[in-house]
Amino acid sequence: MIADYVLGVALAELRRIRESGLRSNSRVVEIWCKDVEPKSHKLGQEKWVILEQVFVAALDVGNGEVAKVARKRFIAILKAQGQIKEAVDELNNFMADTEAWGELADLYLQQGDFKHAAFCVEEMMLASPHNHLLHQRLAEVHCVPFQF
């Protein structure tokens, strides 16, 4: 299929750039946005390396949106693989992102760390103080330890 061929060519070019040590950051971001990201579910074993390459390239060219997407996918992979500590460490670098606070709260709840989960929900409330769902979520976090 043509789409698979295009993906293969794009991955080969990313691999060539990575192995040659070239700093073709604009080209890496262009390849990602145009050819790879729409088919990123087909990346297989190279997914980690490509996400890291795209993240660094996007930061270098100042494309924060692409960097943010690449990093969030990386965190999702860590969570899916059960590497909770690593996912928490990565999420701690996203302190200005409300979604990251929510993910971090969920991870702390999975670990039974209710104090840190409550702190994360409180941080979300600072960004959106009139969101009643966040108030409800904080109440649930405070009540969960007493249900056992």
- C-alpha–C-alpha distance, residues 135 and 141, integer Å: 10
Quick one: average pLDDT of 119-143?
A: 93
Answer yes or no: is pLDDT of 32 > 60.
Answer: yes
Q: What is the mean pLDDT of residues 60-75?
A: 81
Number of H helices, E strands in the chain: 8, 0
pLDDT of residue 36: 82
Supply the mean pLDDT for the chain. 84
pTM above the 0.85 mark?
A: no
Q: How far apart are CA 40 and CA 30, in angstroms?
A: 14
Q: Are residues 76 and 109 in the same domain?
A: no
Q: Can you give the residue range of the structural domain that contains 101?
A: 82-148
Residues 12 and 35 in one domain: yes
Which of 61-75, 95-109, 115-129 bottoms out in mean pLDDT, i.e. has the lowest? 61-75
Evaluate if residue 114 carries a pLDDT over 80: yes
* End-of-domain residue from the set 60, 81, 102: 81
Written as six digits, the tokens of 15 are 């691999």
